[in-house]
């Protein structure tokens, strides 16, 4: 099983619909992140969470919300989807304790298309 699992892998939704992307991890990491990837723009941070009670906005949080249901689960919601939210979304985790390599572990991504 993957260390970081994202569901669904692909989703097509209509403008105005609410949609939730889910992320779960078995790494035991305390920090979790949501990024979106657009061609030529790299990865941009949407939201991040350092623990269950901690939620922070990233650089492009407008139109998104998140929920950290448990240390292992971090979901991203689009309250009312719009076409320019069509992108590849990644969940990532990291460990604040410095016992690992300071890098991130990424999920396989969710390809979201808003029509």
Backbone angles phi, psi at 62, to 5 degrees: -60, 130
Give the shortest CB-96-to-other proteins separation in angstroms: 8
Interatomic CA distance for residues 20 and 1, integer angstroms: 22
Give the shortest CB-97-to-other proteins separation in angstroms: 12
The full 3-state SS of 17-61, as one line of letters, equals: CCEEEEEEECCCCCEEEEEEEECCCEEEEEEEEEECCEEEECCCC
Measured from the CB atom, the residue of 39 and 62 that comes closer to other proteins is: 39
Measured from the CB atom, the residue of 49 and 85 that comes closer to other proteins is: 49
Measured from the CB atom, the residue of 4 and 66 that comes closer to other proteins is: 4
Measured from the CB atom, the residue of 15 and 56 that comes closer to other proteins is: 56
Give the shortest CB-27-to-other proteins separation in angstroms: 12
- By the 8 A CB rule, do 32 and 96 touch? no
List residues binding other proteins (CB under 8 A): 4, 31, 35, 40-43, 45, 50, 90, 92, 94, 96, 101-109
């Amino acid at each position: 099983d993957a260390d970081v699992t994202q569901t669904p892998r692909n989703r097509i939704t209509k403008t105005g619909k609410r949609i939730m992307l889910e992320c779960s991890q078995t790494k035991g990491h305390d920090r979790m992140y949501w990024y979106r990837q657009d061609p030529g723009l790299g990865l941009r941070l949407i939201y991040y969470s350092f623990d269950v009670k901690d939620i922070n906005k990233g650089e492009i949080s407008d139109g998104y919300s998140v929920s950290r249901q448990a240390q292992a689960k971090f979901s991203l919601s689009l309250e009312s989807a719009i076409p320019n939210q069509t992108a590849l979304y990644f969940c990532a985790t990291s460990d604040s304790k410095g016992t690992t390599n300071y890098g991130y572990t990424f999920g396989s991504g969710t390809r979201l298309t808003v029509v």
